Structure 1
Amino acid sequence: MKIAILGTGNMGAAFAAELAATHEVSIGSRDPAKAAALADTIGAGTVGGGIAAAVKLSDVVILALPFAAVSDALKQTGDLSGKVLIDISNPLTADFQGLSIGHLTSAAEEIQAWAPTAKVVKGFNTIFAQLVAAENRKTQPLQVFVAADDETAKQTAMALASSISFQAVDAGPLKNARFLEPVGAMNIQFGFFLGKGPVVAPVWLGL
């Protein structure tokens, strides 16, 4: 796949490093020099630059950004028509103790409204950056819950997750992001406020 990763923080860097071995990866940032430096560090044909340039090279775009930064980033993407846009965010309050939106909408649904020509998918919002690398989850397979209204986009995101050794779980339509985002927030509670560290993730078991 041709994948653009928007963001150079912990999540963006983790995804770029893990995906570069098997996909064509471009990194986009409001600071093109920072994206280029990260791409040089990763190697494996990864390129980095501005947001619009990265998106233009891609079929799939991973929004590795805080939800509060997504709206501004989307203003810089250029044409998103037909592109699969994977939202990995949780719309957290500044103190990480709650969600800024929810119940009647979700971050993913808001992003779909901001980018109506894209095919928005919710996924990876329950995975910490430390667990993106397959080598850090050898002892326990982890699930990625994937919600989308467009079936082809959903299958693309699930195939991407499977390509880096996650178990992709169909989580239904995009509105189910209203449920997935609170799960992501609870995972943050476990990881950072209840002492388990950023190496935990929810798994849905069938017995």
Structure 2
Amino acid sequence: MNVTVIGAGNMGSALVKQLARAGHQVRVTARNPEKAQAVAAANPGVTAVRPGDAAAQAEVIILATGYGDAVAALKSAGDLRGRIVVDITNPLTADYMGLTIGHATSAAEEIAKAVPEAEVVKAFNTVFAQVLAEGGDFGNGQTVPVFVAGDSERARQTVADLAKSMGFAGIDAGGLKNARYLEPLAGLNIYLGYGAGWGTSIAPTWIKRQ
């Protein structure tokens, strides 16, 4: 699959690493071209591109910026018509211990309003960068879930399959409005990891009685 990652920080770098390992055609871009080039150089087969070329040839665009930079990054990415955009952002407060929006909307829904020509999917926002970089197998039969919410069934399935190809469990989480639940879930995960001292080798999941 042709995938472009927008963002070369911890999350973007980890996504590029896992996507390349899974055999996808990966491109990376960032506001700082040197950072994008460094990420590409560290992952054989990955190409760094200019921000304006992010959408070209991409079947899936993964938005790995901060929420505040998300819409501007997408609007400068090129033609988004028919593209699946994966929003991994969380609308965090400055201290990372709260959310700036919620209840009646979500970061994903606001991004979708700004780029209506794209199919926006919420995913990967509940996974720490360290977990993403090290892979989804926690041992003892435990696989880290990636919850996928979006209004397009095709887009949800595509992103779930993408997560599975990277060694994670893609979980269909329904329509995009359910990002209103996934973003607070990420907030709880961040609190447990940092505020409660559990560390970043954790991930939220559900258990089901057989």
- TM-score normalized with structure 2 length: 0.94
Correspondent of 2:200 among 163, 183, 198: 198
Q: 2:143 — aligned with what?
A: 141
Return the offset for 1:165. 1.3
Runs of 4+ in 1 over 6 A off after TM superposition: none
Shift of the 136–65 alpha-carbon distance from structure 1 to 2, 3 Å rule, reads same
Residues 3, 60 of structure 1: 8 Å contact kept = yes
User: Which residues of 2 match residues 109-188 of structure 1 at below 5 A?
Assistant: 109-133=109-133, 135=135, 137-139=137-139, 140-188=142-190
Residues 137, 144 of structure 2: 8 Å contact kept = yes
**1:123-153 C-alpha deviation (Å, 9 max, x unpaired):** 1111001111354634131111110000100
Return the offset for 1:12. 0.3
User: Which residues of 2 match residues 5-84 of structure 1 at below 5 A?
Assistant: 5-21=5-21, 22-43=23-44, 45-84=45-84
Secondary structure of 1:27's counterpart equals: strand
Partner Cα distance (1:141, 1:37) in 2: 29
Shift of the 135–185 alpha-carbon distance from structure 1 to 2, 3 Å rule, reads closer
Residues 121, 149 of structure 2: 8 Å contact kept = yes
Percent identity at matched positions?
46
**1:137-186 C-alpha deviation (Å, 9 max, x unpaired):** 34131111110000100100000010011111110100000011000000
**Total equivalences in the alignment:** 206
**1:85-137 C-alpha deviation (Å, 9 max, x unpaired):** 00011110111121111100000000100110000000111100111135463
Partner Cα distance (1:14, 1:4) in 2: 13
**1:28-75 C-alpha deviation (Å, 9 max, x unpaired):** 1112232122101111x1000222223213110001111111022122
Partner Cα distance (2:136, 2:144) in 1: 11
Partner Cα distance (1:141, 1:117) in 2: 33
Partner Cα distance (1:135, 1:179) in 2: 24
Answer with 93-102 or 130-139: which moved more.
130-139
Shift of the 61–175 alpha-carbon distance from structure 1 to 2, 3 Å rule, reads same
Secondary structure of 1:132's counterpart equals: helix
Residue identity opposite 2:47 in structure 1: V
Partner Cα distance (1:99, 1:130) in 2: 21
Residues 62, 87 of structure 2: 8 Å contact kept = yes
- TM-score normalized with structure 1 length: 0.96
Partner Cα distance (1:50, 1:58) in 2: 13
Structure 1: tracts of 5 or more residues without a match:
none
Residues 130, 136 of structure 1: 8 Å contact kept = no
Partner Cα distance (1:194, 1:134) in 2: 22
Structure 2: tracts of 5 or more residues without a match:
none
Residues 27, 47 of structure 1: 8 Å contact kept = yes
